[in-house]
Amino acid sequence: MNPRKITIIYPFAYGYIDLVVKELKSHSNITVTEIKTDTIKYQYPNPFAKTWNGITKLFGKNIKKEYFRNQILGQVREKQDITFIIRPDLFDVSLLEKLKKKTENFIAYYYDSCKKYPKQVDLIPFFDEIYSYENEDIEKYNFIETSNFIYDESIVTEDIRYDIFNISSYDSRIDEINRIANALSDAGLKIYFILFYFKKLSFPNLISVTEYLSLKETKKLISESRSMLDVQRIDQNGLSFRTFESLGYRKKLITTNKMVREYDFYHPNNILVINSNKIDTNEIKDFLRLPYVEIPQDILKKYNLKSFTEKIFKI
């Protein structure tokens, strides 16, 4: 029996999708083609070429886009059983059309809401299946429900150094994250909040970094923390990877996303939903004192990496 051919095309995703690729490659009957779009970078051979590309854009031709398209198509030489794309809104329609002709099943994972990336709505007809963890989009566009996943459940017990750990990128949540950090610190809680941006920033209770932390580095900090903080994006209702890291590592979670209460793994001893505009630090301290309640394995199994890949790739 010939191995199934699966192509996964995705942008930078903090290492999470790399784990999906690794899981698929563990199956001897699957051949995986992995294309990371963030690594495809066109280099102008000289200053004139850059100027010329600017001129040709006026006539509908773009050297950089053609290079990007050719690099992807050049790696998909044979007909695929499944082509799985994250963030297809980053692609030209012509590229999607060619990729669709090269696969039996054309699948997209809308990693963000259609409110955030409206172009995703226009691309719906291209795909045989579209997965999403945004309930509003699932109901409105008939997407297939999925979630992020537990990718690791093994963690070395370290001496606890911090009450609450958070890692976030600098974005529209910054005022909210800063407000929470200040309130927690003023209340005497030991926090370790990392803020990523491409240049150094200055906030009294946030640690500014200019390089992404690896999952290994993040795991070490989680192991040294009593709990984790998750701050919901304005345009997101689905659960972030922070939720599933807390589940896998058996760490308490403090979150602004009230949707977490709707899930079968929710337990008030383990997860506290807060209102960032009315932070009750005494409630948080009481929550941290509660014993962690183990969630049954049959529930956790539904959200692990293996279940995620089995569902989407029909393994």
pLDDT tens digits, 51-63: 555 555 555 567 7
Helix-helix angle 63-73:93-101, to 10 degrees: 10
If you count them, how many residues does the chain have? 315
Q: Please give the residue that has the higher pLDDT: either 63 or 252.
A: 252
Range in 57-66, 91-100, 152-161, 293-302 the model is least confident about: 57-66
Q: Coil, strand, or helix at residue 166?
A: strand
Residue 44, pLDDT > 80, answer: no
* This prediction's pTM: 0.88
Concatenated DSSP letters of 88-101: GGGS-HHHHHHHHH
Mark out the alpha helices in 26-129 (DSSP H runs): 47-57, 63-73, 93-101, 119-122
Please give the Cα distance from 51 to 206 (Å, whole number). Answer: 42
Tell me the domains of the chain and their CATH numbers: 4-146 (3.40.50), 162-300 (3.40.50.2000)
pLDDT-wise least confident of 69-73, 122-126, 241-245? 69-73
Q: In whole angstroms, what is the distance from residue 96 CA to residue 185 CA?
A: 49
